[in-house]
Chains A and B, each alone.
Chain A
Amino acid sequence: MFAVPFRALDLADVALVGGKSAHLGDLIQAGFPVPSGFAVTTQAFDAVVAERVDELVAGIDPEDVAELEAKAEHVRAVVEELAVPDEVAEAIRDGYERLAAELGAEEPAVAARSSAVAEDAADASFAGMQSTFLWLRGADEALAGVRRCWASYFNAEALAYRARHGGAAGMSVAVQAMVDARVAGVMFTLNPVTGDRSSLAIDASYGLGVTVVGGEVTPDSYLWSKVGRELVRSQVGTKEVECVVDPAGRGTVLREVPDELRARLCLEPGEVARLAELGREVERHYGSPQDVEWAIDRATGETYLLQARPETVWTPKRAAAETVSATDRIAAMYLRGGRITL
């Protein structure tokens, strides 16, 4: 099985399609608004790349920072040219055509994003070490995007990371319908500064979310109280540029954001509330704080979730609570005291 629609996937499929696609499938099955797509499975990666991995990385020393990038680049060029067996290529083309039919579009724009098996594991912040290719149109471009994702398995950071932490038995690629985002960004279902789970933080900027994820802009930031169900504070970011579709209709370009749009918050209050509500539901669904990528469609105003994975910075820090009696707790309170420290 080389390509599987998201809607047929769930969390049991992590080994087959990686964490990202498995979560997307799971979210779709749970009724969340997630753009359709399909996963190119680790079996496809295995059929094309896996057997060659040892040979490809032979002679690469992940600790040799000076040489690593050049060598990795060479390996990626080799991987992108590897022959793809017909049945694998057919499965990917077929996946794309079915997606096109589902969307009712002839050449729908898609994104190809790597979904490494270890990437979204709750215990390792492995995000962003593989690549994302945006606004691909037609089966050929989709296939080319998949091959470039495979090649990204050999990014210098990924090589170094695997050398240190191990893991990443293989790679899957998520091919997902593009959302032409007016605004997009990232949401943490806790306060990333204090770790408070009753707060929810949103970073948002104009255009596709890559500028926020990649740190290319200073986004607007919002802090939402889950229990108070209200915006606690917001801060206008500078949002210099936005990533939008290239005027030619393929690929993306960065363009400047007009001053008047930069000067104001890019999300309306209702949109913040809607996003926060979605974030809360995703968190409930998984039972732990989540790190979510989202986008709001330019034409329809619909909010979509593009990715959800467990939050990894604060969540593991919480040691299991000790059982303490109320009186011991009260004694401890007095001993800690008012703690007015100047």
Chain B
Amino acid sequence: MSDGFLSPFEVETPAGADGWEEMYPYYLLFDPARRESEENRFWFYNGMHFPEPMPAFDMITAESCYLSIGLYQGRVFSIPNVLGIEHRVVNGYVYITSNEVSDEAEIAKRLETFLPRIGFYYENWDTLVARWQAEVDARIERLTALEVPRLPALEDEQELIHDHKLGSNYRLMAAYDEALHLYNELNQLHFELLLLAYGAYLTFFQFCQGAFPDMGLQQMGQMIAGYDTTMMRPDDELKAAAAKALELGVDTAFADGRAHEDVLAELRSSAAGRAWIDDLETRKHPWFFMSTGDGFYHHHRAWADDLRLPFAAITGYVAQLRDGVELDRPKEQLLAERERIAAEYRELLPGDAERAQFDEMLGLCRHVFPHAESHKFFIEHWGTSLFFNKIREVGATLAEQGFFESAEDVFLLNIHEVHEALSDAGLAWAGGAPARGTVYWPPRVARRKEILAALADWTPPPALGVVPEVINDPTVQLLWGVTADRLRSWASGGAGGGIDGYAASPGVVEGVARVVRDVNEIASVQQGEVLVCPVTAPSWAPVFPKISAAVSDIGGMMSHAAIIAREYGMPAVVGTGHATKRIKTGDRVRVDGDAGTVTILED
């Protein structure tokens, strides 16, 4: 292990991707001018959040998150030995490293600030969650109301002369800035409470491991699992819509593999069908702002904008309801089980003092942890979907000015380049001559599309640089599953016949694998199959009632695949690194959710 991983400066650019660096801001690239310090650090691939090469604009999702994580860890909560996370792009993929404090005096000083500050948060949690929600709601409201102007041939007399509004070119830039600001503000809020929720969880876990060295994260998860959260609600609405289809007798419209346009056309032709559509409309807001991804890429559209996923899910639920399958998550059972497990561990503690601490930590965890799931809906799904749609409107204006073929092309420019393009477009529109952007951007956009396609076929190494002796940031282990064992396995290239990952949810299942690389393919999953995917985002929930086990390339114990699998009581192995590459659809596999292994039984 001492020799570490490949230097970030020695990573080769895959064929066809030359010039990828130009897509990204200078500050996100490794720089030979500071090679020594950069290559002697430990960088790991954050495939959990960024499993695809980053379109230029989408880098804002990483930047915005790391702005906030560092702000809170380093400058607000003053976590004694951990500052923020730095990120870099390598061949379009996001690598991160944790900045740590090693000076003992500095740690002690930071601790003095840390204790009262986090104490205030935990003591006033409910009030602060309410404050958080109000601030998030206000920003979502402003984002919803934000108008992105087009550039008309002539300004409106009323607006410019009588109402004395700013010109459309000025307002266009202001709207773009406002959208970016609101998105960044939402991401500041993103981590305010989340880090503390993880902190409580990790603390309880360490307490439990001290008392019960044999206990895994899995048992830990089971003690906290079963909470009802906002993130389950969109899926519940799809189940209700499926039930409504049966109730109205229009369920035959939902045939497997049928395009949602055809389903809707058939439904519109009958009164009962129209009643179903009306019912669905009442269910959409805000739950169809659920993204088909994790909320970090522009092309993962909200359900409302891409009905394929919700309709595929409703079709599946309709079939299950017809077969008499109970669609509700076994919530009562899970809650009873989590109480039993917690009570038994509690009883096994050596004394009443330990039991009192166990109660306090478990209580705190259960109190603060639901936020760790529910925040996702408001930030990564609702807020982010709105944000990307506003940027699409900016893209539409630029396309209208001849910069792009399609509004979607705006996502091939990074946030700073969009600014420049808007300056260009605004000036040219005012000046009355064609913008340089009309000839400057089309070839670059085309080239960047080629580069991204080439980068998509490249497999990013799990880590780069030099492994430190100790990694202090506990979230690295919890969220990303970076442990000493995992590092050794990465360093050895995942040697051995098996596929090893994190034992995320207990049980052993054998079944036929279905490899799904894109969320839009989930309609292909058949009943009882083992889902093998790069990373499961929350919006994959509809597929869970169908599958018998889940395997992911990326993810730690708190990743969504792990949480949902535990809720459904099915085995899951996450963070395997390369399951989607080793397993083929149709392979018979054994998923051992206790040992964290996946075995290919036959092709």
Tell me whether chain B's interface is mostly helix, strand or loop, or mixed.
helix
Q: Which of A7-15, A78-86, A322-330 contacts B (4 or more CB under 8 A)?
A: A322-330
Q: Interface residues of A toward B: which range?
A: 35 or more
Closest to A339 in B: B470
Q: Does A252 contact B (CB under 8 A)?
A: no
Chain B CB within 10 Å, residue with most, of A191, A326, A332, A339 = A326
Q: Is the CB of A335 within 8 A of B107?
A: yes
Tell me whether chain A's interface is mostly helix, strand or loop, or mixed.
loop
Q: Is the CB of A323 within 8 A of B348?
A: no
With contacts defined as CB atoms under 8 Å apart, how many contacts are there between chain A and chain B in the complex? 131
Q: Is the CB of B473 within 8 A of A338?
A: yes
CA–CA, A227 and B348, complex, Å: 9
Q: Is the CB of B357 within 8 A of A321?
A: yes
Q: Is the CB of A340 within 8 A of B487?
A: yes
Q: Restricting to A304-326, which residues have a CB under 8 Å from any CB of B?
A: 315, 318, 320-324, 326
Supposing A197-B348, A232-B214, A326-B122 touch, asked if A331 and B207 sit within 8 A by C-beta, the answer is: no
Q: Chain A residues with Cβ under 8 A from B32's Cβ?
A: none
Q: Chain B residues with Cβ under 8 A from A329's Cβ?
A: 203, 207, 357, 361
Q: Is the CB of B350 within 8 A of A197?
A: yes
Q: Is the CB of B213 within 8 A of A342?
A: no
CA–CA, A186 and B490, complex, Å: 41
Q: Is the CB of A331 within 8 A of B114?
A: yes
Q: Is the CB of B472 within 8 A of A321?
A: no
Q: Is the CB of B81 within 8 A of A337?
A: yes
B210 vs chain A, min Cβ distance (A): 10
Q: Does B103 contact A (CB under 8 A)?
A: no
Give per-residue flags for A64-88: 1 if the beta carbon is below 8 A from chain B beta carbons, else 0: 0000000000000000000000000
Q: Is the CB of B484 within 8 A of A341?
A: yes
**From A199, A334, A342, contact of B214 by CB (8 A):** A199
Q: Chain B residues with Cβ under 8 A from A334's Cβ?
A: 79-82, 114, 199, 472, 474
Q: Does B1 contact A (CB under 8 A)?
A: yes
Q: Does A195 contact B (CB under 8 A)?
A: yes
Q: Is the CB of A337 within 8 A of B484?
A: no
Q: Is the CB of A198 within 8 A of B215?
A: yes
Q: Is the CB of B115 within 8 A of A328?
A: yes
Q: Does B364 contact A (CB under 8 A)?
A: yes
Q: Does A194 contact B (CB under 8 A)?
A: yes
Closest to B203 in A: A333
Q: Chain B residues with Cβ under 8 A from A324's Cβ?
A: 357
Q: Is the CB of A197 within 8 A of B212?
A: yes
Chain B residue total in the interface (Cβ 8 A): 57
Q: Chain A residues with Cβ under 8 A from B472's Cβ?
A: 334, 337-338
Q: Does A336 contact B (CB under 8 A)?
A: yes
Q: Is the CB of A327 within 8 A of B470?
A: no
CA–CA, A67 and B353, complex, Å: 51
Q: Does A228 contact B (CB under 8 A)?
A: yes
Q: Is the CB of A327 within 8 A of B81?
A: no
A101 vs chain B, min Cβ distance (A): 41
Q: Chain B residues with Cβ under 8 A from A194's Cβ?
A: 213-214
Q: Chain A residues with Cβ under 8 A from B348's Cβ?
A: 197-198, 226-227
Q: Is the CB of A337 within 8 A of B473?
A: yes
A294 vs chain B, min Cβ distance (A): 21
Q: Which of B274-282, B297-305, B407-415, B475-483 contacts A (4 or more CB under 8 A)?
A: B475-483
Q: Restricting to B330-357, which residues have a CB under 8 Å from any CB of A?
A: 341, 344-345, 347-351, 353-354, 356-357
Q: Is the CB of A340 within 8 A of B483?
A: yes
Q: Does B187 contact A (CB under 8 A)?
A: no
Q: Chain B residues with Cβ under 8 A from A328's Cβ?
A: 115
Q: Does A196 contact B (CB under 8 A)?
A: yes
Q: Chain A residues with Cβ under 8 A from B203's Cβ?
A: 326, 329-330, 332-333
**From A199, A315, A330, A341, contact of B199 by CB (8 A):** A330
- What are 30 A-B contacts with C-beta separation under 8 Å? A194-B214, A195-B213, A196-B215, A197-B212, A198-B215, A227-B345, A228-B219, A228-B506, A284-B347, A320-B351, A321-B357, A323-B353, A326-B200, A326-B361, A327-B119, A329-B203, A333-B199, A333-B202, A334-B80, A334-B81, A334-B472, A335-B81, A337-B81, A337-B82, A337-B471, A338-B474, A339-B471, A340-B484, A341-B484, A342-B469
Closest 8 CB pairs of A and B: A337-B472, A194-B213, A333-B203, A321-B353, A196-B214, A338-B477, A340-B471, A318-B350
Residues on A lying within 8 angstroms of B by beta carbon are 191, 194-199, 223, 225-228, 232, 284, 315, 318, 320-324, 326-342
